[in-house]
Amino acid sequence: MSDIPNGFTGFKTHENFQALPDLPDLNVKYPTRNYNAKKLAEIPEDERRWAWVEVDLTAIRSNVMAAKHIIGSGCRLMAVVKADAYGHGAVRVAKTALNSGAEYLGVATIDEAIELREALITAPILILAEPPLSAIPLLVAYQIMPTIYTPEFAIQYAEEADRNGVRAPYHLKINTGMNRIGVRHDEAVDFMMQVSFHRALELVGTFTHFATADMAETLDFQIQTKRFTEAVNAMRAAGFNPGIVHAANSAATFRYREVHFDMVRVGIALYGLYPCQQVRHLIDLKPAMSVKARISDVMTVPMSEGVSYGLVYRSPGSVKICTLPLGYADGLQRGLSGKIGIILGGQKCRQVGIICMDQCMFEVDMRAYGNRVRLNPQIGDEVVLIGEQGDSVVTIDEMAHILNTINYEIATGFSNRLPRIYP
Ligand SMILES: *Cc1c(COP(=O)(O)O)cnc(C)c1O
């Protein structure tokens, strides 16, 4: 120790620690004493933490029914519930969608599919990509259909199913121009010839995905449609039944009736959000997600004093500063700082100062002018960060616009730290 310079005296020894008074006994089991576990569990999620995401399942039901109405009978609806149903809660949304007319579920990963199976959902579930080979036993065990585009996967999947005495149902992905995943559109027949010898394999569906269904320009969409139709026709001509043929995401479902085929895959529209401007006048959707919080502190900040990190915002003196217990770790992105409205008492107030990790602030104008109702913010008052209150609205689309992104990213961005509440 003597050769360590600069006055370093070494860590405290164990004996030193024991000499310190009143250290809690860290070896206890929590909760301590005789707390009643049931009582503790009864404290509702939105009272454990004054910030939450509220999901209106009747809006989801209404959006599913609107989509069903547009596609008509004879075309199935796949409810795309990947990414925890775009942040809305996969199990609750899946059950609502299935009860409202959806027949199929689409997810991105095996674990998303397993979550639905463990909630006792029995509808067909398609993983919209090819999982790793090593995950194949999970597909068979949970009866989850993979998307397939490599012969290796097809064969290994078939063999695992065979070993278990079950079929190996799958959907074939055809790449018609998005160039993300899939068998090339002019190689679909070759692919089928390579794998179809395996008796367990069962081609349940054939699909593609559009790169530009949400864009004003339509030529690339038409090229993809033509390639897809040709690939499916070639499969049929070669004696392969393509099964359920599907291509349309939300944008294509509402814009292009000609690509409905046997099923459409609707994601964003289920949640009441529009995939693009062009769809706005084609269907009436109801947004399902709100983000709410309760005020955790209220203070008077003298004129010219700053608020939050960097003290960038300065109080004009005529406002009260209200704090909310959510921040960028909850998905309220820091880039929104100073640019969003917070609705209190039906009036839109300005969020001010830098949004912190777990908290943010907004100002309430305390001046009296016109016939404006003056607000009197109190700790515990409910505010709306996304959604409606009185005559005021804040939308996910506004946030997406501020952040130069799309509504999908905002909805999926609210973290699991915010409980999902279904009123
Ligand atoms: C996510 C996804 C969809 C749903 O797209 P939306 O634009 O949300 O309707 C459909 N198909 C595939 C393959 C997807 O990955």
Q: Quickly tell me which residue has 């370093």 as its tokens.
A: 8
Task: Please report whether residue 250 resides in a domain.
Answer: yes
Residue 421 lies in a domain: no
Q: What total number of domains does the chain contain?
A: 2
Same domain flag for 85 and 117: yes
Tokens representing 371 are 């016939």
Residue 23 structure tokens:
């250290």
Question: Does 4 have pLDDT greater than 50?
Answer: no
From 212, 244, 274, the end of a domain falls on 274
Catalytic residue among 82, 95, 173, 292: 82
pTM to 2 decimals?
A: 0.92
Q: Is 82 a catalytic residue?
A: yes
The answer as to whether 39 is a domain residue is no
Q: Answer yes or no: is 205 within a domain.
A: yes
The CA 243 to ligand 1 mean position distance, Å, reads 19
Same domain, yes or no: 209 and 345: no
273-293 mean pLDDT = 96
Residue with CA closest to ligand 1 atom 15 = 128
- Judge if 302 and 265 occupy the same domain: no
Q: Are residues 261 and 306 in the same domain?
A: no
Q: Are 161 and 199 in contact (CB under 8 A)?
A: no
Does the pLDDT at position 140 exceed 80? yes
Q: What CATH number does residue 389 fall under? A: 2.40.37.10
| Rounded CA separation 44/17 (Å) | 40
172/100 same-domain check: yes
- Assess whether 109 and 253 both reside in one domain: yes
Q: Which domain holds residue 165?
A: 57-274
- Smallest CA-to-CA distance from 271 within 84, 126, 401, 423 is with 84
In a domain, 18, yes or no: no
- Mean pLDDT of all residues belonging to the chain: 93
* Residue range 83-120, pLDDT digits in tens: 999 999 999 999 999 999 999 999 999 999 999 999 99
Q: Which atom of ligand 1 is nearest to the CA of 269?
A: 9
Q: What's residue 37's pLDDT?
A: 81
In this structure, the answer to whether residues 322 and 348 fall within a common structural domain is yes
Tens digits of residue pLDDT in 162-215: 999 999 999 999 999 999 999 999 999 999 999 999 999 999 999 999 999 999
Instruction: Tell me: do 106 and 218 sit in the same domain.
Output: yes
What distance in angstroms lies between residue 133's CA and the mean position of ligand 1's atoms?
23
Whether residue 370 is contained in a domain is answered as yes
Q: Whose CA is nearest to atom 6 of ligand 1?
A: 267
Q: How far is the CA of 26 from the centre of ligand 1 (A)?
A: 49
Q: Is 38 a catalytic residue?
A: no
Using 50, 70 and 90 to split pLDDT, how confident is the model at 15?
A: low
Let me know if residue 31 belongs to a domain: no
Quick one: pLDDT band at residue 147, thresholds 50, 70, 90?
very high
Q: Examine residue 312 and state whether it is found in any structural domain, yes or no.
A: yes
| Max CA distance (Å), the chain | 86
- Residue pLDDT, tens place only, 214-262: 999 999 999 999 999 999 999 999 999 999 999 999 999 999 999 999 9
Sign of the C-alpha dihedral computed for residues 31, 32, 38 and 41 taken in this order = negative
CATH code assigned at 248: 3.20.20.10
Q: Whose CA is nearest to atom 10 of ligand 1?
A: 249
